[in-house]
Each structure stands twice: as C-alpha cells, then as structure tokens.
Amino acid sequence: MGRWEPNARGRLAQAALTLYVEQGFEKTTVAEITARAGLTERTFFRHFADKREVLFYGSDMALGLLAGAIADAPASAAPIDAVAAALQAFSAVVQENPERARLRDAVVSANPELRERELIKLAAWASAMAGALRDRGIPALVASLAAETGIAAFKVAFTRWISEQGEPDLPRIIRESMEDLKSVLTDRAPV
C-alpha cells in the first residue's frame, strides 16, 4: 500500500470532473486524472473501480440517507411528507457543493451511457424509499406512488436548481416543487 494521501478521494474526484468537462468523459484516461491530481494510478484504484465510478460513488450513501430519513420521520408523518423530508435532507448535502453538482450534471448529461446510469441510480433511490415506507407499515401501492412521485419532483427541482442563476437553494426548490406538484394534481383549471 502507498502512503496515506490527504483527501486523495476528493482531489481525484475534482481532477476527474474538471477533465471530463474540459475534454469529455470518453477521452479522459485514469492516467490523466491522476497526473492532474498529483497522485498515482494505484491510489486512484484504491478509491474508485473505474473512471465512471467517480461520478457515482456517492449514490449508495445517498440511498442510505434517503431511506434513513424516511425511517426517522415522525410516526405521524404522511408518506409523501416522509419522502419530502428525505429529499430535503439529501438536497442539503448536495447544496454544500453546488459547483461539483453542476459540473457532474454537465458531464452526465453529455453522455448517453452516463445518463442511463443516472436513471438506474434514481430508480434505485425510489425503490429504497418505497421499501423504507413499507417498513413503516405503509401499503405497497401507496409507498411506491409516494416514492416514485418524490423522485419525479426531485428530478424537476434538480434541473431547475442547476439552471437557475445566482445562488439558488435546492432544499427550497424541492419544497416548492412538491407544492407545485400538489397544484398540478389538484387544480382542475387550465394553467
């Protein structure tokens, strides 16, 4: 094993994202990433299975956070409110580093294979949230509807957050998106 490198994972991720944006995900090699980060390939592979993993290593953590937040919601919380609370908790983490999220989104959007992987990630999150709701005694159908709808609202909110100028606040946008969703579903009048 090599010597311990302070924040190697963060430095590698930052170097990788920058290169993916600069020259494209496909064209970037692990050798270029490690050169940019001033680290060895050996260190890279201690942290990531491959160059794609740099974009998705947080997914499982996010999934755990979402399911955990639903489990921790007050017993009195309605399913959709437990989902909203989970998305709020997650979006507060995303909000800590908007620049990283923007770069990552630009890279993923530009590549069909990465967009597929992103869809799989979101489907896994919906599935985990539905499971956490069922564990609270919510019937399967309601659990799935609440979780899938939450992810739908999250996708829309995230896109809005990414494209807004200034310093938009993701937790706030998520909240508004969930409110908009209620209007969309209940307003009978044309918009």
Residue ranges that bind a second copy, judged by CB under 8 A? 75-81, 115-116, 119-120, 123, 138-139, 141-142, 144-146, 148-149, 151-153, 155-156, 159-160, 177, 180-182, 184-191
- CB of 128 within 8 A of CB of 148? no
For the bound state, the minimum distance from the C-beta of residue 137 to a second copy, rounded and expressed in Å, comes to 8
Q: How many CA atoms lie within 13 A of 71 on its CB side?
A: 10
For the bound state, the minimum distance from the C-beta of residue 190 to a second copy, rounded and expressed in Å, comes to 6
Considering beta carbons, is residue 39 or 114 the nearer one to a second copy? 114
Q: In this structure, what token pair is assigned to residue 70? A: 């639903």
DSSP 135-166: HTT--HHHHHHHHHHHHHHHHHHHHHHHH-SS
Considering beta carbons, is residue 70 or 153 the nearer one to a second copy? 153
Considering beta carbons, is residue 41 or 179 the nearer one to a second copy? 179
Round to whole Å and give the CA distance between 8 and 4: 8
For the bound state, the minimum distance from the C-beta of residue 147 to a second copy, rounded and expressed in Å, comes to 9
Round to whole Å and give the CA distance between 17 and 25: 9
Mapped onto helix, strand or coil, the DSSP state of residue 170 is: helix
For the bound state, the minimum distance from the C-beta of residue 51 to a second copy, rounded and expressed in Å, comes to 19
Considering beta carbons, is residue 46 or 160 the nearer one to a second copy? 160
